[in-house]
Amino acid sequence: MWSDRSSQPTKLSECSNGLGLRKNTHRYLRGLPLVTGNYDLVVSSSTIVTPNGRRSGQIGVRQGRIVTIHDDKDPVKASRRIEAGDRPVIPGVIDTHVHFRDPGFTHKEDFESGTRAAAAGGVTTVFDMPNVMPPTTNAAALRSHLENAAAKAVVDFGHNASAAEPDNIAELAAAGATAFKIWMMPGAGGSMKDTGGTSVTDRAVLYRIFEEVHRTGLPLYVHPHDHELYNLFANREKQRSGRDFRAYARAVRGGDSVILNTGVAVALEMQRSVGTRLHVLHVASRESARLVRAAKDLGRAVTAEANPYALFVTNDWSNIERLGPYALNVWTPERDAEALWAALDDGTIDVVASDHGPHTSEEKEVGWTDMFSAPAGTPFVEHYLRLFLTAVNAGRITLERVVELCCTNPAKLTGLEGRKGSIAPGADADLVVLDMDHEEVLAAANSHYRCGWASTEGMRTVGAPVITIRRGEVIMRDGKVDAEAGSGRLVTPCRGPWSER
């Protein structure tokens, strides 16, 4: 079905040159009759967050796309209206990093349950990771992965393919990969369970991966890590204090985050040498942020990701004591968490993505006494926008910056600028209506997560998505997801020069 880009079902595949984003917007508008009124849907609000700031108005939607934003006070004619009043309207969130476990581990999550959770969380586009079974290391595996996802998704989607086989990178790009992902560690096992076929430790192979991905023009997403240093600090902790979740949390941060920082430094140096568009995942330390900032200051093609657990959960040791393995993921010591927030504010971090990583509670339980053998993923796709809205209400970050981190910049990273991630004429009508006063105590039991637990359990939030609209269709209202499996569509990138933004 997706044998080459020209046969893909989206118009974006027509856009082949690096500078085509603006052109693409025009192409989009060209197909739309420019008469006003008679929209399929109009969404009115006093607070629409657009790329040019907040404004009031009525968003006119036809055939799933935004046609215009009207200033008129009188209601514009439409088949359907949503009067949001004072409730803010933002673009649908784009999550560039989810583990939906499908195929291979669908007892933890599948593409339908995962995308239902996404819709409930205000996320209208997701990009899943290749550590599935079989991993997406070649074009045939990618095609069948996308067909399976297309049959189940309720939000739009794309896939970050495995870069582990350098010789297959070109064919994966041609078959519709959005980006490439590599873990700098050995395959399956331990706390990075299920990563067989997606990981590398050999630096020569990693260098070849940088070269091959560079040829495709797509970004390479790197999970930074140094496994020899990890083994050193893991062994020291095991000898000193055993194998429980506390020992694991400390081991990963051994040597003041030298495991993470060495991974970042190696990836940045390969990027400098080869020129590949590098997206550094999981930035969560002072020094990693400094290294990324220095590379960006030199104009290098580098972007960076932060994750909600590091900002909201594992930055507080008391959450780790309370939730044990259900909080881990990595511990983020206070001064690193502060640096991470500063990096969000100053633009060092471009993108926040959930790293939604469900595992079974049986697997997690092991972590109370042996976290070195338990998996380190935690589910977040449904709750992370709520956590950010709570931070907006607390005055910690602006709603505009949340939109940049969670919508606009992810669209640029994935080649969808102009198409998704902003409320502007020509873009898909992916919209989220927020209730900034909505109070909640987060609970896995009220979520769409298949795994049945969440590290956000018991957290109080103020602010929630109350309506999610995907291409002009309401797919969630007041927490209830109403969308058919298979109604989400594959989106393929239109390459833009991120480094020249």
Q: By the criterion CB under 6 A, which residues form the site for ligand DOR? A: 99, 131, 183, 192, 194, 223, 329, 357, 375-377
Q: How near is the Cβ of 490 to ligand DOR at its closest, in Å?
A: 22
> Is 326 exposed, middle or buried (CB count within 10 Å of its CB: 0-12, 13-18, 19+)?
buried
Which DSSP symbol is given to 423?
-
Please name which of 85, 83, 59 lies closest in space to residue 72, comparing C-alpha atoms: 59
Q: Measured at CB, which residue is nearest to Zn ion?
A: 355
Which DSSP symbol is given to 77?
P
CA dist., res. 189 & res. 447, Å (int): 28
* Residue 192 binding: pick among Zn ion, ligand DOR, none (C-beta 5-8 Å cut-off by kind): ligand DOR
* Residue 194 binding: pick among Zn ion, ligand DOR, none (C-beta 5-8 Å cut-off by kind): ligand DOR
* Residue 352 binding: pick among Zn ion, ligand DOR, none (C-beta 5-8 Å cut-off by kind): none
Q: How near is the Cβ of 183 to ligand DOR at its closest, in Å?
A: 6
Q: How near is the Cβ of 12 to Zn ion at its closest, in Å?
A: 25
Compare residues 188 and 424 and give the one whose CB is closer to ligand DOR. 188
Compare residues 359 and 450 and give the one whose CB is closer to Zn ion. 359
Q: How many other CB atoms are there within 10 angstroms of residue 484's CB atom?
A: 10
Q: How near is the Cβ of 347 to Zn ion at its closest, in Å?
A: 23
DSSP letters along 153-219, please?
-SSEEEEEEE-S-GGGHHHHHHTT-SEEEEESS-SSSGGGTT-TTSB---HHHHHHHHHHHHHHT--
Compare residues 99 and 450 and give the one whose CB is closer to ligand DOR. 99
* Residue 492 binding: pick among ligand DOR, Zn ion, none (C-beta 5-8 Å cut-off by kind): none
Compare residues 129 and 141 and give the one whose CB is closer to Zn ion. 129
Which tokens in the block code for residue 469?
């609209």
Distances in Å between the alpha carbon of 293 and those of 3, 239, 272, 343? 39, 36, 14, 8
Residue 338 makes CB contacts below 8 A (sequence gap 6+) with: none
Compare residues 95 and 428 and give the one whose CB is closer to ligand DOR. 95
* Residue 379 binding: pick among ligand DOR, Zn ion, none (C-beta 5-8 Å cut-off by kind): none
- 119 and 470 in contact (C-beta within 8 Å)? yes
Compare residues 251 and 376 and give the one whose CB is closer to ligand DOR. 376
Q: Measured at CB, which residue is nearest to ligand DOR?
A: 377
Compare residues 88 and 219 and give the one whose CB is closer to Zn ion. 219
What is the crossing angle of helices 254-274 and 203-216, to 10°? 50
Q: How many other CB atoms are there within 10 angstroms of residue 445's CB atom?
A: 9
Q: How near is the Cβ of 100 to Zn ion at its closest, in Å?
A: 11
Q: How near is the Cβ of 114 to Zn ion at its closest, in Å?
A: 13
Compare residues 99 and 420 and give the one whose CB is closer to ligand DOR. 99
Binding residues (CB under 5 A) for Zn ion: these are 355
Q: How near is the Cβ of 368 to ligand DOR at its closest, in Å?
A: 17
The dihedral built from the CA positions of residue 51, 54, 57 and 63, taken in this order, carries a sign that is: positive
* Residue 376 binding: pick among ligand DOR, Zn ion, none (C-beta 5-8 Å cut-off by kind): ligand DOR
Compare residues 223 and 450 and give the one whose CB is closer to ligand DOR. 223
Q: How near is the Cβ of 143 to ligand DOR at its closest, in Å?
A: 22
* Residue 264 binding: pick among Zn ion, ligand DOR, none (C-beta 5-8 Å cut-off by kind): none
What residue type is 245 in one-letter code?
Answer: F
Distances in Å between the alpha carbon of 30 and those of 59, 91, 113, 412, 483? 18, 22, 36, 22, 29
Q: How near is the Cβ of 431 to ligand DOR at its closest, in Å?
A: 30
